Amino acid sequence: MASGSAAASSSNWVMESGDIPHVLAVDDNLIDRKLVEKLLRNSSCKVTTAENGPMALELLGLTSGEQSTLNGESKVNLVITDYCMPGMSGYELLKKIKQSSIMKEVPVVIMSSENIPTRINKCLEEGAQMFMLKPLKQSDVKQLTCQLMNLGR
């Protein structure tokens, strides 16, 4: 099922050709968040960060009928989130995104430092596009952004 450090499910990536991918990176650990942000920027992505699930939901406009708080920026093409976070796990964030009529088509990638097959399968069954092991490498992010850009063409 998984080659290297990533496992993927098959669903559609939503991307206009020629656009710069806009990625929402969610991680409660500042160092991990900064690393993911840097790797994504190196792969020519626009990045918005959130330190937890509720903040991510607010940015996406999924809290109590609010509008997105991304200040008119382009819509998010991908959400990449840590699995283990206090308050709301990445799995719970994934479920909320997939239950939303406006965001359910947006691919969600789950990251974790723990390689637990049952956790990976649970996330993929719930609609995660991919499960990646931390620490992420530039090659992981490159694979992700290539998929994101190629499927929009």
Express each pLDDT in 67-94 by its tens digit.
Answer: 555 655 558 999 999 999 999 999 999 9
> Which residues, including other chains, have CB under 8 Å from residue 50's CB and lie 6 or more apart?
24, 25, 26, 56, 58, 59
What the chain holds in terms of domains, given with CATH numbers, is 22-148 (3.40.50.2300)
Where residue 104 falls (left for φ over 0; alpha for ψ -120 to 50; beta otherwise) is alpha
The pTM of the full predicted model, rounded to 2 decimals, is 0.84
Question: What pLDDT tens digit does each residue of the chain (153 aa) get?
Answer: 333 445 554 444 445 556 788 999 999 999 999 999 999 999 999 999 999 999 999 999 998 655 555 655 558 999 999 999 999 999 999 999 999 988 999 999 999 999 999 999 999 999 999 999 999 999 999 988 887 776 554
Q: How far apart are CA 111 and CA 113, in angstroms?
A: 7
Is the Cα dihedral 108, 135, 24, 46 positive or negative? negative
Question: Which stretches within the chain are classed as H helix?
Answer: 30-42, 53-60, 90-99, 117-125, 138-150
